[in-house]
Structure 1
Amino acid sequence: MSLENKVVLVTGVGPGLGKACAVAFAQAQAKVVICDVSERSLEEAAQAVRAAGAECLAVRCDVSSSREVDGMFEQIVAQFGTLHVLVNNAALTPNREVDTQRRNELYRYMSSPEPRRSLGFTRQISDEEWHRYWGVNVHGMFYCTRAALRLMEPQREGRIVNIASIAGLSSKSAHSPHYCATKGAVIAFTKSVAYEVAGANIFVNAMAPGGVATPAFNAYLDAIGEEARNRLWQGVPLGRFGTVEEYAGTVLYLAGEHYLVGQVLSPNGGGVI
């Protein structure tokens, strides 16, 4: 499927994978819709998409609100008439100071010959934190998918790419069980919906990336020091994280012509094989 003049929605276009995907679709001559809760991230991504030569509709939208999602789709229909590709990228990620502490503790535990014990992560998670992750990572994906299928099913054409994570496939992100649970749900939802809609020529698949070399994570790597970085790379045979451009290329592939239904592609440098 050529992406030229196809209407593509990428959710969550803050610095990193979402913005890279939006730019990649723009370079493929698609018409690009982007959304984010951050006005600054939205404007920066819109400028990058337009600089790549694509028509762009930028909508501030909290995907955890079904009302806001429905309002965004009304704008999409008003401007473009339909939608051909949905990339469910919007997600909360564990990036607070307490998350960094848990991550460091897990990496140290995984690579040190210390006595086995409980790491005590799950018992520290509050109700509010648990529900917040599900609101964006799972409910938001559902709201956007539901709205997209209302357009894709009548036209018998569409691609949906859900951004999961190796956190939903392995113990690599055991420092954040709430995040892992939501990404596991993304994978299960992908498989179920893929079976449901394949007969309408709608292909639903997921990408489960490993570590992403975003500016924020590169700053984290600089801060933890050489010894901690070396511990981390013990679990990644390639010895580095993937770039946002590498991951965006996989998303573009899943948005095109292929024979994949309900599959999970996991570019991760060999971290999970």
Structure 2
Amino acid sequence: MKLTDKIAVVTGVGPGLGQGIAVALARAGADLVICDIDPEALAAAREAVLAEGRRCLSVVCDVSSSQQVAGMFAQARETFGTVHVLVNNAALTPNRPVDTERRNRLYAYLQTPVPRDSLGFTSEITDEEWLRYWGVNVHGTFYCTREALRLMQPQRYGRIVNIASIAGISSRSAHSPHYSATKGAVVAFTRSVALEVAGANIYVNAMAPGGVATPAFNEYLEKIGEDGRNRLWQSCPAGRFGTVEEYAATVLHLASDEHYLVGQVISPNGGSAI
């Protein structure tokens, strides 16, 4: 097992990618510290980890709060003594009705021969909306990384995997410039910290996934019908989105000792961005 005797922290373990990553790490032998702001989602992820026969500390934590993050890592240290792996997965994603409307407007614009004009996305974003995304996606990644490094640096070992997005390395998510900006910041942060700490045997990398075939997204595919699905797949050479298990396997590799990757951004995306 790749992660036997390792302690891994995974943030944002709600249904989908977060829970899938936690289960994959547990299956590889790690004991888990998991967090989410949703107690029900957190409880479900905890049960999934325990079902793999691993220990699990679950903490309700809003990663946009440095105090709550510090408290979570204090509990991790008290329970397990240290942390070897951190997966910064917690993030706000554009999944409200207004985001769906923007996404559909973008896809129609890209896939239909209509007159060119501004789509008006950025001018519609409020201060509150912009700052909420930065609070979770960027500040949360920083707060968790800072606390993890305080444990990893003295032991001269660690693996940090930041979950970025194809939105941060391409224009695939032009419908959500606030989300794209934060994921681009995660990419830049990954590279900077990676150079800083690699000499202490702490490897920092990022995964920038394309579309994830979560239950929620599969519901969206049903709603848009066959014509809508066919239009969507025009932008993805693989003709499908990646499964949670496929993405979790990439994270597992980056969390292990079986690579020589430092400051890299791995983007499983089915060819959507090459």
Q: Bin the TM-score by the shorter chain.
A: over 0.9
Which residue matches 1:48?
48
Do the aligned partners of 1:108 and 1:228 also contact (CA within 8 Å) in 2? no
Q: Give the fraction of aligned pairs with identical amino acids, expressed as a percent.
A: 72
1:30-41 pair list within 5 angstroms: 30-41=30-41
1:263 aligns with 2:264: yes
Which residue matches 1:29?
29
SS in 2 for 1:10: strand
Q: How far apart in 2 are the matches of 1:247 and 1:54? A: 21
Q: How far apart in 2 are the matches of 1:28 and 1:263? A: 22
SS in 1 for 2:213: coil
1:110 aligns with 2:110: yes
CA shift, 1:122, in A, is 0.3
Once the two structures are superposed, what CA deviation does each residue of 1:206-265 show, in whole Å capped at 9, x if it has no partner?
A: 000000000111111111111111111000000000000000000000011211100000
Which residue matches 2:2?
2
Letter in 1 for 2:170: S
CA shift, 1:5, in A, is 1.4
Aligned length: 273
Which residue matches 2:204?
204
CA shift, 1:75, in A, is 0.3
Q: How far apart in 2 are the matches of 1:118 and 1:53? A: 53
CA shift, 1:2, in A, is 3.4
CA shift, 1:115, in A, is 1.3
Do the aligned partners of 2:6 and 2:84 also contact (CA within 8 Å) in 1? yes
Q: How far apart in 2 are the matches of 1:104 and 1:161? A: 31
Letter in 1 for 2:84: H
CA shift, 1:128, in A, is 0.2
Letter in 1 for 2:206: A
Once the two structures are superposed, what CA deviation does each residue of 1:113-136 show, in whole Å capped at 9, x if it has no partner?
A: 111111000000000000000000
CA shift, 1:148, in A, is 0.2
1:102-141 pair list within 5 angstroms: 102-141=102-141
RMSD of the alignment, in Å?
Answer: 0.8
When normalised by structure 2's length, the TM-score is 0.99
Which residue matches 1:178?
178
Once the two structures are superposed, what CA deviation does each residue of 1:125-169 show, in whole Å capped at 9, x if it has no partner?
A: 000000000000000000000000000000000000000000001
Once the two structures are superposed, what CA deviation does each residue of 1:159-211 show, in whole Å capped at 9, x if it has no partner?
A: 00000000001111000000000000000000000000000000000000000
Do the aligned partners of 2:2 and 2:29 also contact (CA within 8 Å) in 1? no
Which residue matches 1:246?
246
Letter in 1 for 2:157: E
Q: How far apart in 1 are the matches of 2:77 and 2:193? A: 23
Which residue matches 2:169?
169
134-143 or 220-229: bigger deviation = 220-229
SS in 2 for 1:87: strand
SS in 2 for 1:191: helix
Once the two structures are superposed, what CA deviation does each residue of 1:75-119 show, in whole Å capped at 9, x if it has no partner?
A: 000000000000000000000000000000101111111111110
Unaligned ranges ≥5, structure 1: none
